[in-house]
Structure 1
Amino acid sequence: MPKSPYSPPGSRREVRGALADALVGLAETPSDASLIDDLLQRIVQLTADLVAPVSYASVTRTRDGAPTTVAMSSEIALAVDSAQYADQTGPCLDALDVGVPVAVPDIAATMAWPRFREAALGLGLRASLSIPLFAGAGVPVAALNLYGHDPDMMAPLTDRVWTVYDPERTRTGASDPPSSDPGTEELISGLIEAFAVRAVIQQALGMIMHQRRSTAEEAYLILRVKAAETGRSLIETAASTRHHDDRPIPGT
């Protein structure tokens, strides 16, 4: 996948691995682009391969009003996802709906989602974490579902993810050092950079909304059109708009 020339402030592109690159690429990509599913498949496989606590991974998206698994590392992940779809409730659906991570640190102890619990335990899974992922529009487009056999290994990963989505949240492992697992570190660094990309795009959308008196949806369409007309990527266009906030948007 071609790399964007844009680097978020404080990023270290020169050492970014494939998983972090895919997460940042997703954040830079228009939410309606056909490339989204390819990026999600890459994220799923790399997460399952690289992040030590994760045994299996999948991605849930909404298609035609119904949740569906669009990428998976194993049929086991699909079976757990499917149990949630059949019950119309579960951690992956909550993460996608609410836009924050949903963790199940001890699947055997959860009472909220009985069908999910039964399916996961039957397949030997003991903990899970569903992470909302977003693309260019800045709203969740998918939930990355991580399933593990070892709750003790999954707990630090959950804490690290929460530091990205909610830095003020009190963490059970707040004083723990960074993970010695390179895959976990790459996942976290990719999420951090993705949030930096999101911030640039959202700032540009806010400026357009102010100048045009438009809604968020209208502002995103304006930015998309501007990117197409100039032949630039969405993030390049957003960065340019943000850096020229004293100039009116063309056509105003």
Structure 2
Amino acid sequence: MFPSPNGQARHELTDALLALADLPDDSPALPEQLSTIVRLSATVVDPVDFASVTVFAVHGYRTEAASSAAAEAVDLAQYAEDGGPCLAALQGGETVAVPDVGGVVVWPGFRDVAWRNGVRASLSVPLFAGSGAPIAALNLYARDAAAMQLLIQRVESCYHARPSQVLPRMDAGSEQLLAGIAGALVTRDLVQRATGVLMDRDGIAAGPAYRRLVEAAESGGSLTDAASAILRQYAS
């Protein structure tokens, strides 16, 4: 974890993930935000050696940012095969873990290129902006499969929490990633609940309701602030 000038720990990766969830889906700030998330994921998360982010393109998919040529090569193999964990995460909106690259059968193109580049385990995490729809997949690649196992479990628990499940804490960078994912999910729930309130109150579809939230945010404050205000009005 990076120290701040006053000696306190900074939480840049957490903040970057929270900021992404609070951006409108068409925000011009998205590419820079995704690049920041990739850079920090590869730098501060101990089990992760390479990182990249996959987004939708006009004809298929593309890598918006990558921390290394190895990460981009593994991504490109998946685009060429039209299959792989990053595409499955982006299309399905769920985390896709590969705890043992050598044992992969369904995506041979991904397996072979990943193995040649030293990747032994991977985790693809769907990322979303304001509307809650997946806009990207964060791809985390590791040379050490054993070191990646707990991170896989912890990230999956953010999406599918089990009340009785208590998992060990991890390094500071991994905890930043986990806090950012958990916070982004809270933001998504907040925006979606506010969108539902507008749909019921004004008799409109989800798309127009979301646009009203974005317009409210553009007039001052953030998307989260606009959603919170709608929910307070509904509760009063």
Residue 42 of structure 1 corresponds to 36
The correspondence for 1:70, drawn from 45, 57, 64, is 64
The correspondence for 1:216, drawn from 186, 206, 219, is 206
1:1-252 equivalent positions in 2, closer than 5 A: 17-168=11-162, 174-179=165-170, 181-228=171-218, 230-245=219-234
One-letter amino acid of the structure 2 residue matched with residue 244 of structure 1: Q
Equivalent residues of 2:124, 2:137 under 8 A apart? yes
What is the CA-CA distance between 1:197 and the residue it aligns to?
Answer: 1.4
Residue 5 of structure 2 corresponds to none
The two structures have a TM-score, normalised by structure 2, of 0.93
Distance 1:111 1:157 in 2: 23
Change (3 A) 1:197 1:176: closer
One-letter amino acid of the structure 2 residue matched with residue 40 of structure 1: L
What is the CA-CA distance between 1:219 and the residue it aligns to?
Answer: 1.0
Equivalent residues of 2:53, 2:66 under 8 A apart? yes
- Percent identical across equivalent pairs? 42
Q: Deviations over 1:9-44 (max 9, x none)?
A: xxxxx9660000000000011111010110100000
Equivalent residues of 1:136, 1:198 under 8 A apart? yes
Q: Deviations over 1:152-194 (max 9, x none)?
A: 0001000000111111499xxx554211x11111100111111
Distance 1:169 1:103 in 2: 22
Aligned residues: 229
Equivalent residues of 2:124, 2:140 under 8 A apart? yes
Distance 1:65 1:198 in 2: 28
Distance 1:71 1:196 in 2: 25
Contiguous gaps of at least 5 residues in structure 2: 1-7
Distance 1:103 1:188 in 2: 15
Distance 1:166 1:208 in 2: 28
Distance 2:163 2:48 in 1: 23
The two structures have a TM-score, normalised by structure 1, of 0.87
Distance 1:209 1:221 in 2: 11
**Secondary structure at the residue paired with 2:51?**
strand
Equivalent residues of 1:44, 1:144 under 8 A apart? yes
